[in-house]
Chains A and B, each alone.
Chain A
Amino acid sequence: MPVTKILTAGIGEVDMRGIGAYRQRGGYKQWERVVRELQPSDVLDLAEKSGLRGRGGAAFPTARKWSFLPSDKQLRYLVCNCDEAEPGTFKDHMLLEDAPHLVLEGMLIGAYGIACHHAFIYIRGEFKRGYEIFCAALEEARNAGYLGRSIFGGVYDLEITVHRGAGAYICGEETGLLNSLEGKRGEPRLKPPFPAVEGLYGMPTVVNNVETLAYLVPILERGAQWFASVGTERSKGYKIVSVSGHVRNPGNYEVALGTTVREIIELAGGLRPGRKFMAVQPGGGSSACIFEEHLNLPYDYESMTKAGSMLGSGGFVVFDDSTDFVNAAYNLVRFFAHESCGQCTPCREGGSWMERVLERLVQGRGIPGDYEMLLRVSGSITGLNLCALGDSIEPFLKSVMLRFPDQFKSRVAAEAGRQW
């Protein structure tokens, strides 16, 4: 199956950062059509019929998310989530830097779809270059009259504010993001109420991922049917998969959902010569590994879930037989422990203690019982936290521990004694 190019069309070939280049490729035509010809409900309708689901990780149906907004409140906000920090995911980074106008047009259409007049984009602090590129694009679009007051001479007003983060993975979680946007610590909020009811400044708010909003542009252009006709039964359309790890040509590959895992690895040039496939983490750092027996599975939301993992953000890390899975698990657990905001005890304490246990395993200083303890502790973190970060500690660790128990057990020191 060939790689498709919808959002990624032109990226790496043409410089699309200027508004002229983007318009030459048909840019902002859909935005003009939306404002001149369509009602917000038409956009919602298209989003619904297309079957578009959130591309940031949670895969929630986009139209349904929008429909949760209470109809009696006029003041509402759209926030575009560009705080991409899921380990192994680098698609939003690319879209922001290489196709800023596409991201912006998607945001404009999304904002119109929920009939809001002030939208925000939260850009990860590390993406300074992307932030500058996007700000320049926004300025061009503003000068062209694509946002501001009475867009295209009509009655619709829309303002967009660019907000730059400052280094915190947890701000990718939507309520953490909203707190950060309000100038607070990026700590997730208790849900419900969900942002659609009480979000930014206590008003109804929709938080959508960059890729999700960007797909609105081709959906408007080619129709909901076109998008819905691709993919599997419940996973419609396309997805940018960020392939990295032990493949020959790592990069972003846009594929129809339902492309097999094996085909995606082959798209990225396959494994390096002489190497043997061990595992792939198909949905970012929060997902469990899948293995050889899953290679022929279609890459869609349902199949990944059924295989015990998830499609998540589309961060697709391939591991060959040179991988030290104890070190890999340590790396991810350390990441989550480091990024835990500290509000919930299971995540804060569980994560950092597991990090210490894994650290001694990596160094070959494990003590008998560490293997069982890790499984027990990770299992008792899941499901007991405000947000999904705590729940993300277990999947990868558990999947590789059950698959490669010897790698872990062999790290127990021969003459074990408590180190501390």
Chain B
Amino acid sequence: MTEREKNFPALLERLAPKCSELMARYEQKRSALLPIVHLFQEHEGYVSGEAMAATAEMLEITPAEVEGAVSFYTLFYRRPVGKYMLQVCRGLACTINGAEDIMAYFREKLGIGHLQTTDDGLFSYEEVECLAACDRATCMEVNLEFAYDLIPQKIDEMLAAMRAGEYGVAPMAQTDVPGRTWSIAADAQIAFGQKSQGAVEVEDPNNPGGIGDESGTIMLDHLINRDVYLFGKTTERAVVEARALVETIDERTNHAGH
């Protein structure tokens, strides 16, 4: 059990009154889904499986409905991200004012590509759609706070300030170690051999059961270690079931072998 998982019951207890207050703002409590998920993400840095399960329970809907909704929105991260989420605008007005060069500069300086997180877990980088600040192109958001009129020198200063912990925007909560990408879609793309633009040396694609995962073990590991797929089941049961599954597969393979 990770530190975050241990702390989750206490966090839930702490946030429960706020959640109730959010639900009371609407005629139907399901409407509080986005605000509650925002709240959990604020405290955990991403939307954990536990957070989604708790949300489902509070709103009296199924976990699938919660994850279905959460997965629709790009600002909800279903896996851990860096402390600074750098979202650079790739909208048309920014693009015709040099956003492509700015994005290339970011990728070079960070050593990562679109939808990726640096190894030290400090930065996550994403190229996002028009941020509605076209008069001050090129623009970006750092943890959802705007930065405008980007030029290389300014980017250097910003990154240095973030590394030194002196940047004007507070880092996000980080309760788990981020992987290479937080985007499940991008992960699948990597599995299909497509690197995201500017990706640097994707050697371990952390394949979630796509092509290349011939034995199915990665998928299995995914099922066991990611609670999000296991609502309503205890971790123990999941492990037992997964073992049973492995045994079945082994048996079949053996049969096939003979």
Residues of A at under 8 Å CB distance from B? 84-90, 92-93, 118, 124-129, 161, 163-169, 180-187, 201, 242-246, 250-252, 281, 285, 315, 317, 319, 322-323, 327-328, 331-332, 335, 338-339, 341
Contact = CB atoms under 8 A, between A and B. Distances in A.
B146 A129 contact: yes
Contact of B92 (A183, A328, A339): A328
Contacts of B129: 85, 87, 169, 335, 338-339
A402 to B, nearest CB: 19
Nearest to A83: B132
28 contacts: A84-B132, A90-B135, A118-B27, A125-B75, A126-B144, A129-B145, A161-B25, A164-B35, A166-B75, A167-B73, A167-B74, A167-B76, A169-B129, A182-B28, A183-B33, A183-B61, A184-B69, A185-B68, A243-B135, A244-B93, A244-B137, A246-B97, A281-B92, A285-B92, A317-B93, A317-B96, A331-B95, A341-B72
Given A182-B31, A317-B134, 4 more contacts: A90-B133, A183-B59, A186-B73, A187-B72
Which of B28, B34, B128, B133 has the most chain A CB atoms inside 10 A of its CB?
A: B34
A184 to B, nearest CB: 6
A305 B96 CA distance: 25
Given A186-B72, A244-B93, A332-B92, A126 B132 contact: yes
Contacts of A252: 135
Interface residues of B, number: 44
B34 A163 contact: yes
B93 A87 contact: yes
Nearest to B134: A244
The 5 closest A-B pairs by CB, nearest first: A183-B33, A244-B134, A166-B73, A167-B75, A167-B74
A363 B91 CA distance: 19
Contacts of A335: 91-92, 129-130
A286 to B, nearest CB: 12
Nearest to B90: A331
A92 B132 CA distance: 9
Interface of B: 25-28, 30-35, 37-38, 59, 61, 65, 68-69, 72-76, 87, 90-93, 95-97, 128-137, 141, 144-146
Nearest to B100: A327
Contacts of A167: 73-76, 128
A100 to B, nearest CB: 16
Most B C-beta atoms less than 10 A away, residue of A90, A317, A341: A90
B34 A90 contact: no
Contact of A164 (B38, B95, B128): B38
Nearest to A183: B33
B145 A128 contact: yes
Contact of B75 (A126, A163, A169, A341): A126
A19 B25 CA distance: 23
A341 B131 CA distance: 19
Given A164-B34, A317-B93, A250 B137 contact: yes
Nearest to A249: B135
